[in-house]
Amino acid sequence: MAQWIEIEENGLYLTIEVSDEQDVRLLHFGVSPHSAELAGWDEKIKRMFRLSEVHISGGNQIPGLWLELEVMGIHCKLADKLPDEWFFMRHGRRVIDHSRYQLDFRNPQVAAYADTIMDRLVQTYGVGYIKMDYNINAGVGTETGADSFGDGLLEHNRAYLAWLDRIFERYPELVIENCGSGGMRLDYAVLSRYSIQSSSDQTDYRKNGIIAAASASLVTPEQCAVWSYPLREGDVEEVVFNMVNSLLLRVNQSGHLAEISAPRLALVKEAIAYYKTIRHYIPQSLPIWPLGLPRFAHSWMSYGLCNKEVVLLAVWRLDSEEDTITLPIEALAGSEADVRLAYPSGGSIECTWYPVTGSLSVKLPERYTARIFEIRFSHAGAGTQCFRRV
């Protein structure tokens, strides 16, 4: 069985997987500089950071970096040397939020500065994946060279998008995730360019499940990345809940994987293996919510993906006194189908499909538990009814 190992050395954090055949895969590689010094790494740190020197074998692994490019820390020495025209300005002062200045991409020098960073990351460090973060709220805009604050903000946004277009022209294979402070900045002006959207930075898996289950109402499921955070101290149901949160969207695996028990780690590995068998369905499917869009006050919730072959259905029991729920999928009324518990594969959960009404009855004996079910139709193409009627 493969082992996952965490390593910390010289301020760098790595998680690697070592198989029985001693094949090594890099799962995570990163640093965490202080936010107020953003953009101010000295040469010592840069020398430590040589992704191209990290040997990555197996699985077509791509080196990635967590980046916050649109801001500059207020204690960054470079910021003291730059003119105010580089930054958002209001009432004659630089806009500050969370110890950061907002860079103004209308300024060609700012765009050129960002170009040099991207060129260095891709060409020198071998970065192929960027998690683009944005952890401030710069407010209503900037006054420099604008008729109003809002005019300055709009033109900055357009300039930033134009800069992104140029980046993708130079590096068409580069994958950029829109982290946006964990889903706090989310729109399709950006997502028509970025491949992936982070849904939330929420680390309470119970709350994150509610966010995840509703996310496909705003973001295409294949773009929506959901963190799975297995805790150091937890049980098997906590791991399953975490994994179910992300399996019908896009898995962003994290958590203290090197420190959890073997049975819990096995559930993570099972989930990832299962995800690889269903992920091709995600962009082909229509999202459904048999119980309606989830809310924090709800005691049960369900989110699924329906396509011509199968319905993949996630079911969560939250703080409900009832252990059984009926999930109506009216568009599938009259459809004969077979139902199976898809994840986790171990154990037994009572579930029954009622073809006349097109509904699924599920029993989850414990509070705050979750499961993935597969509903496969007896007649090919029965799932097309989802597209006609849901």
DSSP per-residue codes, 218-269 = TS-GGGEEEEE---SS--HHHHHHHHHHHHTSEEEE-S-TTTS-HHHHHHHH
Sequence spans of domains, the chain? 3-284, 286-389
Closest CA to 242 of 271, 284, 276: 271
DSSP string, 198-209: E------HHHHH
Backbone angles phi, psi at 355, to 5 degrees: -65, -30
Topology given in CATH for the domain delimited by 286-389? Immunoglobulin-like (2.60.40)
Topology given in CATH for the domain delimited by 3-284? TIM Barrel (3.20.20)
Query: Whole-model pTM?
Result: 0.83
Amino acid at 208: N
* Beta carbons within 8 Å of 331's beta carbon, 6+ residues apart: 288, 306, 358, 385, 386, 388, 389, 390
Residue ranges in 120-204 assigned as alpha helix (H):
149-170, 180-183, 188-191
- Tens of pLDDT along the chain (390 residues) come to 455 555 555 555 556 555 554 444 555 555 443 344 445 555 554 554 444 344 444 456 778 888 999 999 999 899 999 999 999 999 999 999 999 999 999 999 999 999 999 999 899 878 899 999 998 999 999 999 999 999 999 999 999 999 999 999 999 999 999 998 777 888 999 999 999 999 998 889 999 999 999 999 999 999 999 999 999 888 999 999 999 999 999 999 988 888 899 999 999 999 999 999 999 999 999 999 999 999 999 999 999 999 989 999 999 999 999 999 999 998 899 989 999 999 999 878 999 999 999 999 999 999 999 999 999 987 665 656 665 554
Total length of the chain:
390
Burial class (CB in 10 A: 0-12, 13-18, 19+), 20: exposed
Give me the pLDDT at residue 63, please: 80
Give me the pLDDT at residue 16, please: 58
